[in-house]
Copies of this chain bind each other. A is one copy, B any other.
Amino acid sequence: MKIGIVGLGLIGGSIGLDLRAKGFPVVGVSRQAHICQEAVRRGVVDSAGIDLKLLATTDLIFICTPIGAIVPTVKQLVSHLTIDTVLTDVGSVKTAVVEAIAPLWQNFVGGHPMAGRAESGLDAAEPNMFAGKAYILTPTDATPRATIEVVQRAIFALEAKYYQCRPEDHDSAVAWISHLPVFSSASLISACLQETDPKILALAEAFASSGFRDTSRVGGGSPELGMMMAQYNQVALLRSLSVYRSQLDQVIAEIEQANWTALEQRLQQTQVARPQFLS
C-alpha cells in the first residue's frame, strides 16, 4: 500500500514518520519546495515535491492541510487519481468537510486523529504521536466498506485507538471537549484584561500560577485554529456555548444567593465526573 501525504506539517509529518517506519512507501506533497527537501532529509517521506501529480500512483492519500484548504486541495487532486485511490483528511471538524467532498470523490472517508502538540509545522513532527490516542473515522451511508478498511489499515499501523461515528456526532462530541474549552478559556483571558485598575492587573499577572496556566492554555493558542473551529463547527459549538452559559449563570446565582450547599454539590459533581473524560 503506497501512501500519499498532502501537507507536511505536524500531523502529516508524524503520519509519514510512523508509516515509513512500518514499511509503507510514502510520497509527500507540500507547496513549499524547501519543506519537501527537509521532509526527505528527515525520513518523513521517501520522496516529495510540490506537484499533486506525484500522488497519481498512491493507494491512500492523507490530506493534512489546514481545514480551510482541504476541499480546494481535493478539487485539484482528483483529476490526477485513478478511481480506486482512497482519500482521507485529518481535519478537526467533519460534517462540513465530508459534505463538501462527497460529490467530488466516492472513495473518501473523513478522519480525525486526536493527537497534537502546542507546536506546529514539520519541526514539531515526531514518531509515535498517535499511539494509544483516539483516531476517528466518520463514514456516511454512502462510504464503501473497502474505503474504510484501507484507512483502518493505516490507523492500526499508527497504533491509534480506532473509533467510528457519524460526522455530526463527531462534531457534537468535539464541540464539548475540544472547541468549547477554547472559548471558555479565551474568555478567561479576555475577562482578566478588562481589569481597569493597572495596580490590580499587575498583581494578577504576578500571582498567576499553575491554575491559570492550565485553564488559559487553549484560549491562548492559535487564533487561526480557534477561528476555524468556530467557522466549520458553528452550529454544534453554539449549542455547547449556550449550555455552558446557562451553567455559568447557575454558578453566579448560587454565589449571589450564598447557596453554598448547591455550590458544593455542583463542585462535588464536577470532581466526580472529570475522571470519566480522562480515562
A-to-B contact residues, CB < 8 Å:
114-116, 133-134, 136, 163, 165, 169-170, 172-174, 176-178, 180-195, 197, 199-200, 203-224, 226-227, 230-231, 234, 237-238, 240-245, 247-252, 255-256, 258, 260, 263-264, 266-271, 273-279
Contacts and interface: CB of A to CB of B under 8 A. Distances in A.
A65 to B, nearest CB: 19
Contacts of A230: 255, 260, 263
Given A134-B206, A209-B133, A270-B189, A241 B245 contact: no
Contacts of A170: 203
A267 B223 contact: yes
27 contacts: A165-B199, A165-B203, A172-B200, A173-B204, A173-B206, A177-B207, A183-B255, A184-B248, A189-B277, A190-B247, A190-B250, A190-B270, A204-B277, A205-B277, A211-B217, A212-B278, A219-B270, A219-B274, A222-B271, A223-B264, A227-B267, A230-B255, A234-B255, A238-B252, A242-B252, A245-B252, A248-B248
Nearest to A136: B207
A266 B271 CA distance: 31
B251 A183 contact: yes
Contacts of A250: 190
Contacts of A204: 172-174, 176-177, 277
B271 A163 contact: no
Contacts of A182: 211
Residue in A211, A222, A224, A227 whose Cβ sees the most chain B Cβ within 10 Å: A211
A216 B169 contact: no
Contacts of A241: 248, 251-252, 255
A191 B256 contact: no
A220 B251 contact: no
B270 A240 contact: no
Contacts of A210: 116
A138 to B, nearest CB: 11
Given A190-B251, A191-B243, 4 more contacts: A173-B206, A190-B269, A192-B277, A226-B267
A181 to B, nearest CB: 4
A217 B214 contact: yes
A189 B276 CA distance: 11
Contacts of A252: 238, 241-242, 245
A187 B184 contact: yes
B271 A220 contact: yes
A217 B212 CA distance: 10
B163 A176 contact: no
